């Protein structure tokens, strides 16, 4: 950026100065190489790491119910007794408690996206992290009241949903800090850091619950102590996240919500097609992450009875762990092979993985069951990366085609495509998270109606194959450029 001196000659604008302490940034030009090199990059990375930390805790609290419901029956809550014996009522109640956070988290993702331009990244990151204190302290209190009715825990599970909304505000905030050429990598790190919160909760919670049972002789009291430890362990980290955001993060004055782009994205068929596909990838990742501990305990109760409860409980974390790390691999493969092609492979593989899960259940083989589920989680991660890679490609191609047909400026057309893709990502992310709720409700209703979750799993397999066909039809067919669907089918996106 340049300024005009008194002589009428252009002069170089003052270089940007990095500051460790947080502030409002009145000037932010990440696409300016000189600005980026003079402190912009250091500032962006500082905000990225504090954002990852806060988002990671949001996911940790969001998924916490998936781990603690497996121990609540033993802690004295009758509505979950018999979960380890496959009691249909207990399984249904557990899936209700694990699905409610998914529903609330998905719903909050839309308003959380608009919160950053309105309140600033620093203030809203601190606020959204601070909200995590309510579900954690509430759960810690009521889990020590054995007579607490289930509806209270449903409300507490809903409160935990605030952690799921943090994803959208965090992603929106970080997208403002990085230049176009580095935005994809930054958002990938941000998303993966959040997803890892699921794995770390599912690793730590069973260990802490087991520790509580060893500290107290009374079984029910020991389980209540263990659950309390599994909940309260996150409180000091939440306080650190709030302090770190307030003291060190920055807010960008020029970060503005683009309402027009959201309206255009909402009327674009591609937004809703990709939302369907993201239900299949991210919805499956988050839905199975919530349900996996319950599924292991309900389907293989004999493992707990022979003293493997700690081992089996901790094995549940592997699903979210491998799914988180495979997400950036999916984006990398999509860059080289094509997002649509990878997505078709992913959905086909997910249907095969479901078939292997069903075979493992019929054979009562836990090793095969675990292996098949880990394959499913890896594929969901790959699909998360490939579908996110498809979105800017699709909007870039469709907008460029429209611009060429109407004689619009190429640079402005590209800027419009980026804005619409960003808006679409917010919508698609929210709908995809809602898929986690749908998946768990399908398991719950199948168990209530048929006394088995088998129909739901076969339904998933069919749905995954349908999504593979949808991906091929709209984005991979060589015959896509037809007059009937001029804006939908773009090869190798």
DSSP codes, 55-105: HHHHHHHHTHHHHHHHHHTTTT-GGGTTGGGT-HHHHHHHHHHHHHHHHHH
- CATH number, domain of 94, equals 1.20.1250.20
| Strongest mean pLDDT among 367-376, 389-398, 447-456 | 367-376
Same structural domain for residues 120 and 247?
Answer: yes
Same structural domain for residues 94 and 177?
Answer: yes
**Is residue 6 in some structural domain?**
no
**Is residue 24 in some structural domain?**
no
**Close Cβ partners of 46 (under 8 Å, ≥ 6 residues apart):** 20, 248, 249, 250
The closest alpha carbon to 289, from 264, 324, 250, belongs to 324
pLDDT of residue 219: 85
Which of 195, 229, 257 delimits the end of a domain?
257
Q: Give 478 or 345, the one with higher predicted confidence.
A: 345
Report pTM.
0.82
Same structural domain for residues 283 and 144?
Answer: no
Q: At 125, is the pLDDT very low, low, confident or very high (cuts 50, 70, 90)?
A: very high
Which of 257, 285, 315 delimits the end of a domain?
257
CA 344 to each of CA 216, 376, 384: distance values in angstroms, whole numbers, following the listed order: 51, 14, 12
Mean pLDDT, the chain, as a whole number?
84
* Structural domain for 291, as ranges: 258-493
Residue 401 pLDDT > 80: no
**Is residue 301 in some structural domain?**
yes
The closest alpha carbon to 316, from 17, 76, 64, belongs to 64
**Is residue 5 in some structural domain?**
no
Same structural domain for residues 447 and 303?
Answer: yes
Q: At 339, is the pLDDT very low, low, confident or very high (cuts 50, 70, 90)?
A: confident
Same structural domain for residues 252 and 313?
Answer: no
pLDDT of residue 314: 64
Same structural domain for residues 237 and 290?
Answer: no
pLDDT in tens, 15-36: 777 888 878 888 888 888 999 9
Query: In the predicted model, what is the mean pLDDT of residues 314-334?
Result: 85
pLDDT of residue 304: 54
Rounded Cα distance, 260 and 352, in Å: 41
**Is residue 320 in some structural domain?**
yes
Query: Which range is least confidently modeled, 128-142, 172-186, 307-321, 383-397?
Result: 307-321
pLDDT of residue 257: 64
Q: At 232, is the pLDDT very low, low, confident or very high (cuts 50, 70, 90)?
A: very high
**Is residue 28 in some structural domain?**
no
Same structural domain for residues 245 and 393?
Answer: no
For the chain, percent of residues with pLDDT exceeding 90: 42
Same structural domain for residues 304 and 170?
Answer: no
pLDDT of residue 256: 73
Domain tally, the chain: 2
Same structural domain for residues 253 and 267?
Answer: no
Q: Give 457 or 84, the one with higher predicted confidence.
A: 457
The structure tokens 């066909």 sit at 469
Same structural domain for residues 216 and 358?
Answer: no
Residue 410 pLDDT > 80: no
Rounded Cα distance, 149 and 192, in Å: 36
Q: Give 457 or 109, the one with higher predicted confidence.
A: 457
Region of residue 17 (left: phi > 0; alpha: psi -120 to 50; beta: else): beta
The closest alpha carbon to 276, from 458, 81, 126, 475, belongs to 475
Q: At 479, is the pLDDT very low, low, confident or very high (cuts 50, 70, 90)?
A: very low
The closest alpha carbon to 96, from 151, 137, 166, belongs to 151
- CB contact at 8 A, 493 and 335: no
Which of 210, 230, 257 delimits the end of a domain?
257
Same structural domain for residues 38 and 160?
Answer: yes
Q: At 465, is the pLDDT very low, low, confident or very high (cuts 50, 70, 90)?
A: very high
Same structural domain for residues 359 and 474?
Answer: yes
**Is residue 422 in some structural domain?**
yes
**Is residue 141 in some structural domain?**
yes
């Amino acid at each position: 950026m340049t300024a005009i001196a008194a002589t009428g000659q252009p002069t170089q604008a003052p270089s940007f100065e990095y500051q460790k302490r947080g502030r409002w940034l009145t000037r932010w030009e990440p696409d300016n190489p000189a600005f980026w090199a003079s402190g912009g990059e250091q500032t962006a990375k500082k905000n990225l790491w504090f954002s990852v930390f806060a988002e990671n805790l949001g996911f940790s609290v969001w998924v916490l119910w998936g781990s603690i419901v497996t121990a609540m029956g033993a802690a004295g809550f009758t509505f979950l007794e018999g979960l380890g014996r496959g009691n249909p009522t207990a399984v249904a109640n557990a899936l209700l408690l694990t699905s409610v956070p998914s529903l609330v988290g998905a719903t909050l993702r839309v308003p959380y996206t608009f919160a950053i331009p309105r309140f600033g990244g620093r203030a809203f990151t601190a606020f959204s992290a601070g909200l995590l204190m309510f579900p954690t302290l509430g759960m810690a209190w009521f889990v020590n009241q054995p007579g607490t009715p289930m509806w209270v825990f449903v409300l507490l599970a809903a409160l935990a949903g605030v952690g799921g909304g943090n994803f959208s505000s965090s992603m929106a905030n970080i997208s403002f800090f990085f230049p176009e050429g580095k935005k994809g990598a930054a958002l990938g790190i941000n998303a993966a850091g959040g997803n890892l919160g699921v794995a770390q909760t599912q690793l730590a919670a069973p260990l802490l619950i087991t520790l509580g049972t060893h500290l107290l002789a009374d079984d029910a009291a020991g389980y209540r102590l263990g659950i309390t430890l599994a909940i309260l362990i996150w409180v000091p980290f939440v306080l650190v996240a709030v302090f770190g955001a307030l003291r060190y993060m920055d807010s960008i004055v020029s970060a503005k919500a683009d309402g027009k782009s959201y309206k255009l994205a909402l009327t674009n068929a591609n937004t809703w097609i990709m939302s369907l596909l993201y239900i299949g990838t991210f919805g499956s990742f988050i839905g199975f992450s919530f349900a996996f501990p319950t599924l292991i305990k309900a389907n293989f109760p004999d493992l707990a009875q022979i003293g493997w409860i700690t081992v089996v409980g901790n094995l549940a974390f592997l699903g979210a762990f491998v799914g988180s790390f495979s997400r950036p691999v999916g984006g990398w493969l999509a860059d080289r092979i094509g997002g649509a092609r990878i997505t078709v492979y992913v959905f086909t593989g997910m249907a095969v993985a479901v078939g292997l899960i069903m075979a493992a259940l019929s054979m009562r083989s836990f090793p095969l069951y675990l292996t098949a589920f880990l394959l499913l989680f890896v594929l969901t991660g790959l699909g998360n990366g490939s579908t996110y890679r498809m979105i800017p490609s699709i909007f870039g191609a469709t907008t460029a085609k429209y611009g060429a047909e109407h004689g619009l400026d190429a640079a402005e057309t590209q800027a419009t495509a980026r804005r619409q893709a960003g808006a679409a990502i917010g919508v698609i992310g929210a709908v995809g998270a809602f898929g986690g709720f749908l998946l768990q409700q399908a398991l719950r209703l199948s168990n209530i109606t048929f006394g088995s979750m088998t129909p739901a799993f076969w339904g998933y397999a069919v749905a995954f194959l349908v999504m593979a066909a949808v991906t091929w039809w709209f984005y991979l067919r060589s015959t896509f450029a037809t007059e009937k669907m001029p804006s939908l089918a773009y090869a190798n996106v």
